[in-house]
Amino acid sequence: MTDDLQDRIQAALAHPQNLGELADADAVGTVGNAECGEMLRLWVRFRDQDGKRVIDRATFQSFGCETAIAVASLATELIRGKTAEEALALKTGDLAGELGPLPPMKIHCAQLVEGALHSALDPEAEKTQKSPAPGGGSTLLDSFAKPKPGVKLTFLDEEK
């Protein structure tokens, strides 16, 4: 990764936008990448504007890398005021916004955000995503805090 890109990612991370659960969301989408183990959940709330249903606000939570968080931060700002169709038409390069082109090894980080967006906004996915996440929780952390029977989670000591 170039120093330039690393600087832009750090700049986005210095003031991350739209972090956290959106309590009154109309849609939620969750995706994970099995290869790197990152997860991202996106909440979307709509409002009516000039006879159209547009995105009022989108928020996210991520157990993801810096690039995924930076893209999610930029993308949740970018999709404000867009219809679901307009947001779904955005490609990974659009969602990465001012980060600019990502190197091949980081493109899947933006695809994680794109996937969560499609999971939330695709009409068919929307119907299924309104139910609680696997594990019974509504947030990503809940998913881990309420693991399936037989699964033991160990939390690392922050002091070390």
- In the complex, the residues that contact ligand FES under the rule CB under 6 A are 33, 36, 38, 64-65, 67-68, 108-109, 112
HSE of 1, CA atoms in CB hemisphere, 13 A:
16
Q: Which of 42, 78, 84, 109 is catalytic?
A: 109
Q: Please, what is the Cα angle at 9 between 3 and 12, to 5 degrees?
A: 145
Q: Residue 1 or residue 145: which is nearer to ligand FES going by CB?
A: 1
* Separation between Cα atoms, residue 91 and residue 111, nearest integer Å: 9
65 is catalytic: no
Residues 26-45 as b/e (b if ≥16 CB within 10 A, e otherwise) read bbbbbbbbeeeebbbbbbbe
Shortest CB 97 distance to ligand FES, Å: 16
Catalytic entry in 1, 11, 19, 36: 36
> Measured from the CB of residue 158, what is the shortest distance to ligand FES in angstroms?
22
Least spacing, CB of residue 67 vs ligand FES, in Å: 5
Catalytic annotation, residues: 36, 109
